[in-house]
Chain A
């Protein structure tokens, strides 16, 4: 029972904040509202038995990526004109596309039956995830770390090489 209540709370936070991000015309407000989406997702991860991944979500997404996004918003956007900084174009068409895509997904979801577990486990996951990352998934893990380094160096080079127009 408590599980259902918390699911509706977190789901409501996620969906409400996501629709604010999607339909608000103020870019800075959208960037700050994204925090609520990410925190709500972290809560859902914890409810789905992923304690470690909920913490990773808060630290990497909310603490890293969203702060970067807010930096980017403040450095580049037309935030001096808040009422036009986040305008959509072709809004009706994309709304139709989004709604039809969601109906397609929900129709598929309605017709599928999944082989469910009787009693999903809520055991702590950190040790098992560490074991998986260093045994079965050690190659993707190393590739990802190399990719992160390459992305960081590449981003620094792109920003340094770009010329400043007078």
Chain B
């Protein structure tokens, strides 16, 4: 296991998340893609803090990964709230059909 291998895995996961959140029709599936992208970024942070840590504090990268996880939690809560509100109004959450701004 080298840094190159971990970064390759994270690039692949990022690309899969990108494909998911660009191509899916359902809002919840888009949210899943965003979670995969955030996970790939956090994996990069942890890998760098393991293989090439900063001189001052070795665990900087892991602290940033914790912040990423917490931000993902906040984002998931808000996005699911919006999805439920949209579902109450329109009876679907298909992202390509939600085109009204002030419905």
Which positions in A face B, CB cutoff 8 Å? 3-4, 7, 11, 14-15, 18-19, 21-22, 27, 30-31, 34, 37-38, 41, 44-45, 47-50, 52-53, 56-57, 60-61, 64-65, 68-69, 71-73, 75-78, 85-91, 94-95, 97-99, 101-102, 105-106, 109, 114-117, 120-121, 125, 128-129, 132-133, 136-137, 140, 144, 147-148, 151-152, 154-156, 158-159, 161-165
Contacts and interface: CB of A to CB of B under 8 A. Distances in A.
Given A56-B69, A89-B23, A102-B14, A77 B36 contact: no
A98 B19 contact: yes
11 contacts: A7-B1, A14-B13, A49-B46, A64-B73, A76-B27, A78-B92, A94-B19, A105-B14, A132-B60, A148-B73, A158-B78
A115 B83 CA distance: 45
Contacts of A52: 62
Contacts of A133: 63, 66
A109 B12 CA distance: 12
A76 B67 contact: no
A144 B71 contact: yes
Nearest to B31: A69
B83 A76 contact: yes
Given A41-B39, A109-B4, A155-B78, 10 more contacts: A14-B9, A37-B39, A44-B43, A60-B70, A76-B93, A117-B53, A132-B57, A151-B77, A162-B88, A164-B88
B96 to A, nearest CB: 6
B98 interface: no
A30 B32 CA distance: 9
B63 A132 contact: yes
Contact of B35 (A53, A65, A91, A125): A65
Interface string B58-96: 111011011101111111111011111111110111001
B84 A148 contact: no
Contacts of A49: 46, 49-50
Interface string B13-40: 1111111101111111101110110010
B23 A94 contact: yes
**Which 3 A-B residue pairings sit nearest by Cβ, starting from the closest?**
A155-B81, A162-B85, A102-B15
A88 B91 CA distance: 19
Contact of B29 (A18, A27, A53): A27
A30 B23 contact: no
